[in-house]
Amino acid sequence: MTLLDSVSVDPRAGRPIPDAATRETIGYAPVHSSAYLDEAIAAARRAQPTWDAIGHVERSRILNDIADDIRANADELAVILSREQGKPLDGPNARFEVAAAELWTRNAADTRLEPEIVFESEDGRAEVHYGALGVVAAIGPWNWPMMITVWQIAPSLRMGNTVIVKPSEYTPLSVLALLAIYNRHLPSGVLTSVVGDREIGAALAAHSGLDKIMFTGSTDTGRRIIEGSAHNLARLTLELGGNDAGIVLPGADLSQLIEGIFWGSFLNSGQTCANLKRLYVHESLYDEAVAELATLATEVAMGNGLQPGNLLGPLQNQRQFDTVSALVEDARARGARVVAGGTPAPELGPLFYRATIVADVDDDARLVTEEQFGPVLPVLRYSNIDDAIIRANNTEQGLGASVWGPDIDEAKTVAQRLDAGTVWINQHGTLNPLVPFGGLKASGYGQEFGVQGLKAVGAPKVISH
């Protein structure tokens, strides 16, 4: 039996899940009730003390075994992911995401978290130790469903917590396939999935049996989770939307940087929270940058993810396709210049939208003020760096940003003035499992990855003597 067959339920008891590219049904996801949710959390609560008691060494061994198992099943996982989410197998897409799921699982296993000595004198000493919180809810998105689920569950498990996973209703099968591999190695009750629509997600966030909620998704949904968690006082880690700005400084060598700028924006067909969403280019380089980006957008291979060579896939769902289309049309109606793309690609499939570069767009266009989450990049002109920084910071969100230029010290000076949790120089969106990641403003709070990520799912305890 394949992994997909093992997680797909009887059609009479489930909800059809379409192939993102063709819209043909690829399987059926379970639809769980609030009673099922109650039972899952109760089972997680019962399993947690024993899981915590086995200790870090044994939990790390198990997580490394899981990472090995993910690698052994990487091809099958990548095909499920490509079909359900839409991202191609090739390039920084489905195979890349499965490899990242393995890497972050292994990193959670191997990262050391030592007690911290925060005070020491002849009269005494104070140490901070980190233990398990209890039961963690992991509520994931549809854009990077496997990778981001691992960001949530692997450190939680390592710290001795049990976990309830609620995958996006758009991409449940890929997550269930990943969890099936995890659960080959875990005791019953330690890692459980609850599948359904937003109602079951809301019920999970407000459940009294939780100690921690980790959520990646939109800012609006994050606000509702905050409201729901007021009833259980669960700790929160929220990675919410982003409207990341990039600034290209005078003197930048576009021949060396333009591909990095392009993929910083168009990775996963633009469907990434920390993608570059707005590009501010100095007037001396503006026309060159627009022309080179348009060339890349026109030439990039787009199509069904299972076909070799394709690097961009469809929008994952109709709602996102409609959003992207509306934002481009609004910019066009305001007089913006669409220099590449700007239209759907129905010959490829129902939800394909051509890679699009928009120039001469107003700062108050919806394409600039809202997160497009699709294969569209607005390019804006500036003449004064102070003005560019003000415009880049003029958003309620603050997930990431980037600065592109030849002088690293100058770029660092600009980076210090940008309101973002991460600022990259001559790159955008690159992540490292050892480097903390999180947002500012309405992009959420809390950090993931490395030591900081383990602390985020741990309970600090001060021991003084």
Say if residue 145's pLDDT is above 90: yes
d(CA 325, CA 62): 45
d(CA 253, CA 454): 39
d(CA 447, CA 19): 33
Q: Which pLDDT belongs to residue 100?
A: 98
Q: Which pLDDT belongs to residue 152?
A: 98
Residue 340: burial class (beta carbons within 10 Å; 0-12, 13-18, 19+): buried
Q: Which pLDDT belongs to residue 231?
A: 85
Q: pLDDT digits over 66-108, tens only?
A: 999 999 999 999 999 999 999 999 999 999 999 999 999 999 9
Residues 6+ apart with CB under 8 A from 108: 63, 154, 155, 157, 158, 453, 454
d(CA 246, CA 388): 10
Structure tokens at 440: 């500012």
Q: Which pLDDT belongs to residue 389?
A: 98
Inter-residue contact 71 to 36 (CB < 8 Å): no
Structure tokens at 434: 């050892």
SS3 30: strand
Give the pTM.
0.96
Q: Which pLDDT belongs to residue 1?
A: 85
Q: Which residues are catalytic?
A: 239, 273
Inter-residue contact 362 to 368 (CB < 8 Å): yes
d(CA 247, CA 278): 9
Q: Which pLDDT belongs to residue 83?
A: 98
Q: pLDDT digits over 336-386, tens only?
A: 999 999 999 999 999 999 999 999 999 999 999 999 999 999 999 999 999
pLDDT-wise least confident of 163-167, 218-222, 252-256 = 218-222
All domains in the chain, ordered by first residue: 3-240+443-464 (3.40.605.10), 244-425 (3.40.309.10)
What is the residue-averaged pLDDT of the chain?
97
By DSSP bridging, strand 14-18 and strand 25-30 are: antiparallel
Inter-residue contact 178 to 97 (CB < 8 Å): no
